[in-house]
Amino acid sequence: MTRLKYETKAGQFSEGETYSQLVEYLRLASEAAYAIGHNSKANDDWTRGQGFLAVGQMLEKTTNMVTKLATQKRGKIIVS
């Protein structure tokens, strides 16, 4: 497994850049899950297709939650 490279400023990693990188990877994973799901359904594997479409939706929700957490002020995180 390859370790991710983190952007640093004066030796400290940039939290904003790391959040951006996380959101981008989650978005790509969501797109891949949707693609696999649609392809599976097109090849008459409905159950597998539905499973990957559900994975895509969960990754999208995770992306939205990470974005929400990253944009809120510290100590004021409210999960609804």
- Domain contains 19: no
Full domain range(s) for residue 35: 30-68
Q: Is residue 17 part of a domain?
A: no
Tell me whether residue 74 is in a domain.
no
Look at residue 62 and tell me if it is in a domain. Answer: yes
SS3 2: coil
Number of domains, the chain: 1
In a domain, 42, yes or no: yes
Q: Which residues of 46-66 are buried (b: 16+ CB within 10 A; e: fewer)?
A: eeebeebbebbeebbeebeee
58 found inside a domain: yes
Task: Please report whether residue 22 resides in a domain.
Answer: no
Task: For the beta carbon of residue 11, count every other beta carbon within 10 angstroms.
Answer: 5
**Residue 48 domain-assigned (yes or no):** yes
Mean local confidence (pLDDT), 60-80? 78
Which tens digits make up the pLDDT trace of 6-51?
666 666 777 778 888 899 999 999 999 999 999 999 999 999 999 9
